[in-house]
A and B are shown apart, each in its own frame.
Chain A
Amino acid sequence: MNTLLEIKGLTCGYDARFFIQEINFSLEEKEFVGIIGPNGSGKTTFLRAITRFLKSQKGTVIFKGRDVRQIGFKEFARKIAVVSQNQPVNDITVEEFVLLGRIPHFEKMQFLETAHDFEIARKVMSLTQTSKFKDRLMRELSGGERQLAFIARALAQEPQLLLLDEPTTHLDIGHQVAVLDLLKKLNRECGLTVIIVLHDLNLASEYCQRLVLMREGRIYKAGHPDEVLSYQIIEEVYKTVVVVEKNPISLRPYVLLVPEEERRARSKKYGKEE
């Protein structure tokens, strides 16, 4: 396995405030890594720092042995694609939207898509099952369909690394599974490396080979879901009481939350028994 991405001592933020500090992280090719953590723990900032949308104040991000600051915008977009949190889209069809993902591959004086660009667009649309609504306008799509279109556009860039920021938020469980199954398939069959920010610990546990748990802008714990998703760690980081069990089918950990009323009732009951 080769190292695809290496982050050393990365510190960055907005204005003078640091949102992530001293991040050290390395990613092998073909890995599927999830970033989890409470709100405001720096997950999105972490992704934005990799994509250089935020300038790093300290530290380096190295992609395949090259400092990302030395990679041009266009070349960078051919290597790393981003699916950001849902953004409003204007009145263009799904196909036109996916074709925008070909822009990084355009030559200097090229204004029109080539047959090859259309071929790639066709391929990624059939892969993401967006072909059937390719002539509909983006704003007419449901949340799940739109998310698939965003992934299709990112795939049209033919990247080696795909970064996704909470792609399953606002989706029902059917669509959540559809999106993650697709990503897993791309990871297995096409060798695409994936970094995904997820809020849902159970989805993260089921799909990711490795989890990075963030707290207050630092990596709190990284490793296999079995190591990261223990109830002690989650209670410590999220400041809430949870129960961690094993999924009987996948044998991955899953996290159950306990409402405060139940907690009180329990402690009273056990308190009496004691």
Chain B
Amino acid sequence: MKSNKKITRWCIYLFVLGIILLGISLLSLCVGSAAIPVRKIISLLSKASDSAEYSILFNIRLPRIILGFAVGGALSISGVILQGMFRNPLVEPYTLGISGGAALGVVLSIIAGLSRRLGGISLPVSGFLGAILVIILVFYLSIRKRVLRIQGLLLYGVMISFVSSSLIMLLMAISGADELRGIVFWIMGSLEQPNWLLIKTAVWVSISGLIIAYFFSLQLNALSLGEEDARALGINVENTKKVLFLLTSVLTGMSVSICGIIGFVGLIVPHFIRLLVGNDQRILLGASFLCGSSFLILSDTLARTIIAPTELPVGVITGIIGGSVFIFALTKFK
């Protein structure tokens, strides 16, 4: 009886968030420096053509929407998982130093001129390598006697973030004007990504991430009581922590290396959804994924339309809207 009621409520949340996501995606397809009405989009969908509008829709706007879906979702569920695991509402995907590692990798490859020699794919690849190195480093520093110490993860992560951002500043200080521009643009984050292979990878990684996270949703619920109580409920706490740390690391590393550093999504979306649906990870994960996707697509749409044709960095928009909406929500709900 009651179980059914809960499921119905959860389905409604997911349905509404799904509709919002579709609406925002459609809006994002329509607006831009060249507005395309919805009717036109439908007719373009049915038959391919080589018109400029077709090209704008499917080669420029649609890839950004798909990437926004994947990355927004991945960052949001990483935030949900990390906040649940650390029992700390201030933790976000970038706290653990993974973004710092990825950024350092990218900056190094920009300065070494790898992108000129190896093409566009070199940046994400070097970013991901940087992220992986940091993951391994933080993981091994935090393990003592086969126990993954959560506080250790946090402290080492924050320290590695500091070290890598200082190194990036150092590299920026000694780099030439062209490279500096490339670095700044990359760091501010953007959904512009011409490579379909990377976009597909992002979609696959984030959806598989969501599915894996669901297998650990009950464990995360139990972990909200603290490690000792979770263990008393029959949870293999050590395995859970390790798998979830690796999962969030891969999701974050993937997002940062493809899109640069897009802040606030992984911090604010989980909080916002928690206010809305409560603390149960079984709904929190799915709802946050959808909400994060919508939020990032919307921010990106605003970033490219507010002062079109000039494009603002999407991280600026996520920060401004995210921060103010969240402050509003907090004062409203509490």
Contacts and interface: CB of A to CB of B under 8 A. Distances in A.
B234 A90 contact: no
A104 interface: yes
Given A104-B233, A112-B7, A90 B2 contact: no
A196 to B, nearest CB: 16
A96 B280 contact: yes
A77 B232 contact: yes
Given A111-B214, A111-B217, A90 B232 contact: no
Contact of A92 (B6, B7, B279): B279
Contact of A157 (B6, B226, B233, B278): B233
Interface in A67-95: 72-78, 81-82, 84, 87-92
A91 B282 CA distance: 15
Interface residues of B, number: 26
Name the residue in A77, A78, A81, A115 with the highest tally of chain B Cβ atoms < 10 Å from its Cβ: A77
Interface string B218-230: 1001101110110
Most buried by B among A53, A91, A103, A115: A103
Given A92-B278, A103-B222, A115 B3 contact: yes
B55 interface: no
A113 interface: yes
A87 B229 contact: yes
Given A90-B224, A92-B278, A96-B280, A111 B218 contact: yes
Nearest to A74: B234
A84 B232 contact: yes
Given A89-B225, A100-B221, A113 B3 contact: yes
A73 B236 contact: yes
A118 B233 contact: no
B234 A73 contact: yes
B87 interface: yes
User: Chain A contact residues (Cβ within 8 angstroms of B): what range?
Assistant: 20 to 34
Nearest to B274: A91
A114 B6 CA distance: 12
B279 A91 contact: yes
A118 B4 CA distance: 11
Interface in A38-89: 51, 53, 72-78, 81-82, 84, 87-89
A167 interface: no
Given A87-B225, A92-B279, A100-B222, A114 B234 contact: no
A165 to B, nearest CB: 10
Given A90-B224, A111-B282, A73 B235 contact: yes
Contacts of A78: 234
A92 B6 CA distance: 14
B231 interface: yes
Interface string A140-171: 00000000000000000100000000000000
A115 B1 contact: yes
Contact of A77 (B2, B3, B234): B234
Contact of A82 (B3, B6, B232, B235): B232
Contacts of B229: 82, 84, 87
B232 A100 contact: no
A263 B153 CA distance: 54
Interface string B128-151: 000000000000000000000000
Given A111-B217, A111-B218, A112-B7, A103 B233 contact: yes
A112 B232 CA distance: 20
A101 interface: yes
Contacts of B236: 73
Contacts of A91: 278-279
Contacts of B221: 100, 103
Given A87-B226, A111-B282, A118-B2, A100 B231 contact: no
Interface of B: 1-3, 6-7, 87, 214, 217-218, 221-222, 224-226, 228-229, 231-236, 278-280, 282
Given A76-B234, A81-B232, A90-B279, 16 more contacts: A53-B231, A75-B234, A77-B232, A77-B234, A84-B228, A87-B225, A87-B229, A90-B87, A91-B279, A103-B233, A111-B218, A112-B7, A113-B3, A114-B3, A115-B1, A118-B3
Interface of A: 51, 53, 72-78, 81-82, 84, 87-92, 96, 100-101, 103-104, 106, 111-115, 117-118, 157
